[in-house]
Amino acid sequence: MTWLSIPAMDCAAEEGEIRRALSELPGLRGLRFRLASRSLGIDAPAESIPKALDAIAGAGFKVTQLAAEPSAPAHGHRHVHDHDHAHGHDHGHPAAAWWRDEVRYGLALALAVVAEALHFLAPDITAWAVAGMAVAAAAIALAGFSTYAKGLAALRRGRIGISALMTVAVTGAFLIGQWPEAAMVMALYAIAELIEARSVDRARNAIQGLLSLAPETAEVRDADGQWVTSPSSDVQPGQCIRIRPGTRIPLDATIISGQTTVDPSAVTGESMPIERGVGDALFAGTVNLSGTVEATATAASHNTLLARIIAAVEQAQSARAPTQAFVDRFAAIYTPTVFALALAVALLGPWLLDWTWLQGLYKALVLLVIACPCALVISTPVSIVSGLAAAARRGILIKGGVHLEKARLLRTIALDKTGTITEGKPGLVATEVLAPGHHHDEVLHWAADMAGHSDHPVSHAIAAGLDGHGCSHDIDGFEVLPGLGTRARAHGTDLWLGNHRLIESLGVCVPQVEARLDEHESQGRTVTLLASREQVLAIFAVADAIKPSSREAMTQLAAMGVQTHMLSGDNQRTVEAIAREAGISSARGQLMPQDKLDAIRDMQRQAGGNAHTVAMVGDGINDAPALATADLGIAMGGAGTDIAIEAADVVIMNDDLRRIPETMALSRRTHAVLVQNIGLALGIKLVFFVLAVAGSATMWMAVFADMGASLIVVANGLRLLRTRPVRRFSRS
């Protein structure tokens, strides 16, 4: 893959032009556009690259070959290049370039006003007319040099695009004596495009701004054990870093010393602080709130979770959503069609409607300005990028506009159990002391000490749940009984801590105990019993507890008309119990990965190929095939495996299932904005088209209408950046 830098390429219009320019490239195997970084990857033989450079340059774009694949640009960085864009602007200006353009376009507008004044005050004086033409020409040169360059290049290739329309319209107006309007049109066009470019940058920078959350430096322990300040980019995995209270965490790391509270909102969107201690993971960009901790870096700066989020969202911006693809195809037909219509007005109007030739030509030029599809082309990408940015701020990583649009159609969702609906680790959920003649705390003390000596996950859960009752270690003769439990002696009493079979073998599992076991097991719990030779002393129920957010998420999904199904490898009884508690419609247990895949395919067949979408939600390797096959794959980013996250289309960074109805609500809102923008762009053009044919619209009015439409759709799309958590949901 050969990578090129194309500074003026940052929206669908340029991408389309470059695709067409490279369509005949020998040996071309694929193109990878990265609009956010203005780079293009070309998969073609080395001997074809010079031809690709020539083809792109011939299309009117400045291009340079890069030595390596570009990385995500840091916040605040901009590509410095000339004012050269298919719309007549550049979305990536640094502050100095913006200032130069403002001065240049301001001067062009002033000259256009002077030209209008000269034409109005002295229309019949030749000397003043010549001076006015010179002033108008200067205004056009200042505001439209790049537009002319690209327009002429497009016309040479027979491409009728935005720049070509403006080039023909302004040149034609100047030649028929409407040089004041020609100057005003070009100046207003350039200024409005500059304003639009800044607005579009706001949406793009909403993503790029996340990178500034990670500090540029880190405190690192050197070979002598001293703490030194080093650039974060120089820190390698395995090195020890120190994070002080009130500072942002520079790299992904694991705590090796200390305890603190962390604000994770920058990465996961979760607003509540979380406790972190030895062995816990920290993520770059989150805030250390309380204690000083030492941690081992687990990822280089370019490979942190935050950096991967940015890279994924930037790549998502390059993937066109269905509505965006439709608009691009429509614009490709619409622009030449209107050009042909304008030509018909110029040629047939004088003959059919008794216009003069100059009137016909002028009306045709006004139509060309109105026809500029800038507002239509920009209406979809700015909305999609804003939607992706709003999702990222909430800890929802959506890997493309197509997935953002598809989420609104969700009607069936299948969910894995462990780590998705539940916490993913066993916890003590019920304790019953049954021993008459023994003190309650004494029994719990024995159980805690025995569980603390075992390395079994269920024993760990019991020990953690009984924290504070054990730790005296006054037991001896501890022995593990494989497949059954453990045995030990405490203060002269023989004790057993184990499963149902172990207690049955001791002959102390009386009917009253059996009844209690049945009740716990019917709820999907794993039961462990503490017994002496004479009786069962206590019952401990361990379960993978449901996340507090899961029940609320299922309620919200039901309110939105979504059917939920659980697909799990756990036993059917446990799965059904968890499904009932969470409020899930149906549950299937004892499923292998292939079974989950088959279940997703069955749901898709039942949907009948209609607009309804089937989603799979999971976090493990065994979920990856189903995630990849579902219409929409949703992975848990916190507990999820890399394979599951890679296979998914949407990643929930904080494992909160309530983010799924939020994603659906955002998708519906984004779709509504897209429809509004397309309607506004076409509606405004239609109104002024009628006015132009009726002779009631001038060229400067037309450019105001076109640029006004552009600014309206951009502002409407940017409203998505203000998306907040949605509390109420409906089936709409």
Hey, which residues are catalytic here?
Answer: 416
- Phi, psi for 346 (deg, rounded to 5): -65, -35
Q: How far is CA 550 from CA 89, 415, 623, in A?
A: 47, 11, 18
Residues 6+ apart with CB under 8 A from 504: none
Ramachandran class of 214: left when φ > 0, alpha when ψ lies in -120 to 50, beta otherwise = beta
299 secondary structure, DSSP code: S
Q: Letter for the amino acid at 518?
A: D
Question: Would you say the C-alpha torsion 16, 18, 21, 25 has a positive or negative sign?
Answer: negative
Tokens in use for 360? 């016909």
Count of alpha carbons within 13 angstroms of residue 107, beta-carbon side: 12
CA–CA separation, 511 and 513 (whole Å): 5
What spatial distance separates the first Cα and last Cα of the chain, rounded to whole Å? 45
> 2 near 65, Cβ under 8 Å?
yes
CA–CA separation, 448 and 466 (whole Å): 6
Ramachandran class of 230: left when φ > 0, alpha when ψ lies in -120 to 50, beta otherwise = beta
| CB-count burial class (<10 Å; 0-12, 13-18, 19+) for 727 | exposed
Q: How far is CA 551 from CA 422, 545, 565, in A?
A: 10, 12, 13
Pairing of strands 274-276, 64-65: unpaired
Residue whose tokens read 């204690």: 291
